[in-house]
Structure 1
Amino acid sequence: MIIRAATTAVLALTLGAAPLLAEEIGCEGVFNQNATLAEIEAAFGKDNVVTGEVPGPEGTTMIATTIYPNDPARTMQVRWWDEEKVEYLAGVTLAEGDSGPGGVKVGMPIEQVQAINGAPFRLFGFYWDYGGFAGFESGVLSNLPGGCVLNLRFAPTREDLSEAVANAISGDTELPSDMAEMLQAKVAVREVNLGYVYPEALGEGGEDAAAE
C-alpha cells in the first residue's frame, strides 16, 4: 500500500534544537512516532504552527498541521491519524529544502534515489491524483530507524516528452524505477514524505480515512 505509507522526521534533532539546521530529517527526534502537537509547537515556535482544514486527495479536505505556512521554502505538513483530537502522527511532508533519509531531497533524479537505495523500486504512473508515489519494499530506504517509512512522489521534469514516452509512464499502474522511459522523462523527486502505520490504540476502521 504505497499511498497509505505516504500520507506519510528528524535525525539528530531534539526538541530544543533548531530543526531548520538539520541536514537530514528522519524518523527520530521531533517527528518520532509518539510526537504530539504540543511538542511540535515547542520545537518550531507556536506562532509558526497552524492546525486546520487543508485540501486532501480527490477533492476531499482533512485536518493537518502546517509548519511555517507563510514561508513556502520551509513549509512542512504534518498529518494525524486522529484528526479530531490531533493525535497519533500519520505522516510528514518535508520542506522543499530539507533532505530525508539517505539524503533524498526534492529535485533529485530518480536514478540517484535508486543508487542510494541500492535497488530498483516501484512507483505509480503519472498524471492522476496519486501519480508518481513510490514506496520502498527492499533496499536501504525500506528499513529506516525509528519505525517510519519513506514515501516519495516523483514527477517528470522534461517538457518535450514524446507521446510514446508519456503514455508509457502514465496512469493507475505500478512501474519500475529503472525503466528507460523514466530516464528519458527526467523523472525527479517532487515530494518527500515520512509516514507511520495506523496505531492499534485507535482500533479498527480508521486506516482508510487518515494520512492520505
Structure 2
Amino acid sequence: MNSYIKTIATAALGLLLIYSGKEAVGLTQKIDSSVTIAKSQTLTDTLIIPGERVGPITRTTTKQDLVKLFGASRVVDKTISGAEGIGSFAATQLKLDGGRSLLVVWSDNTRTKPLDVRNLGSGWKTREGIGVGTPLSELRKQLGNFKLYGLGWDYGGTILLDSTKLSRYQGKLILRVDAAPNAYEKFPNDYQAVSGDATFSSTNSHWKPLGIKLTEIVVVLNPSQE
C-alpha cells in the first residue's frame, strides 16, 4: 500500500510540475505582451527628421515592423484617396495617445515601403519645434517670411519652402496651415482676400485675424518616382 501511494504521489507531483510549467510559460507571455504595450505607451522619440524618419518609423519600416513596435491593436489598415480624389493608396493608421497618432501611406499594397507619414498629432515635432498647432507667428520666426497657397482648395495653405530658412527640407516635408474654424464667418473679407489658387506672402495683413496655425505635416520618406 505504501508503495502504491508513493507511485500516485510521484505521478501527481509530475503533473503538477507540468501544469506549473505551462502556467509559467503563459505568465511569461503575458509579461512580454505587457512590456510591448508599455513600450508603445511610453514612446518618447517623437522627433521628425524630414526625409529620414518620424520617431522610430524610417524609410525601411514595414507594416509588420509597426505591429512589432506598437502592438496589433494599435495598427489599422485602410485605403485613402490621392490628391484631388485621383488614385488610391494603401495606408496604415497608428493609434497612440498623447497626440502621437499618425498615418503611414505605402508605395503599394504589400505595405513594405512607406511613401510618407501624415496626419501627425501635435506630439510630433521637428528639431526646430515645428508641429501641428504651431501658429503663423512662430512659423515666420523659424522659416523667415515665406509664400503659401491661398485657402479653400485641395492645396490650400501649403507653404512653399524653396526660399525659406528650411529650404533643405523641400521635397521631404510638406507643411499646410489653415484658419480657425469660425474665421470665415467672423472675417469673410479677410478670408476671401487670401483664398484660392494663388500664392500670398506670409506678411499679408489679411492673415492676422484668421487665427492661422499649422494643421498638417507630411513627412516624405520614399518619394514617388512617377
Normalising by structure 2, what TM-score? 0.67
The answer to whether the Cα contact below 8 Å between 2:45 and 2:56 also exists between their aligned partners in 1 is no
Unpaired runs of at least 5, structure 1: 1-16, 208-212
Match of residue 32 from structure 1: 58
Q: Give the count of matched residue pairs.
A: 181
CA offset at residue 56 of structure 1?
Answer: 4.2
The answer to whether the Cα contact below 8 Å between 2:132 and 2:214 also exists between their aligned partners in 1 is yes
Identity of aligned residues (%): 25
Match of residue 175 from structure 1: 200
Give me the CA root mean square deviation. Answer: 3.0
Match of residue 151 from structure 1: 174
Q: 1:137 aligns with which of 146, 150, 162?
A: 162
Change (3 A) 1:72 1:133: farther
Separation in structure 2 between the aligned mates of residue 55 and residue 148 of structure 1, nearest angstrom: 20
**1:66 and 2:89 matched:** no
Mapping 1:18-29, distance limit 5 Å: 18=40, 20-26=43-49, 27-28=52-53
Match of residue 138 from structure 2: 112
**1:189 and 2:210 matched:** no
Unpaired runs of at least 5, structure 2: 1-38
Separation in structure 1 between the aligned mates of residue 112 and residue 149 of structure 2, nearest angstrom: 29
CA offset at residue 42 of structure 1?
Answer: 2.1
Q: Whose relative contact order is higher, 1 or 2, with alpha carbons under 8 Å and at least 6 apart?
A: 1
Change (3 A) 1:22 1:198: closer
The answer to whether the Cα contact below 8 Å between 1:123 and 1:132 also exists between their aligned partners in 2 is yes
Mapping 1:54-93, distance limit 5 Å: 54-59=80-85, 61-68=88-95, 73-80=99-106, 82-93=107-118
Structure showing greater radius of gyration is: 2
Displaced runs of 4 or more, over 6 A: none
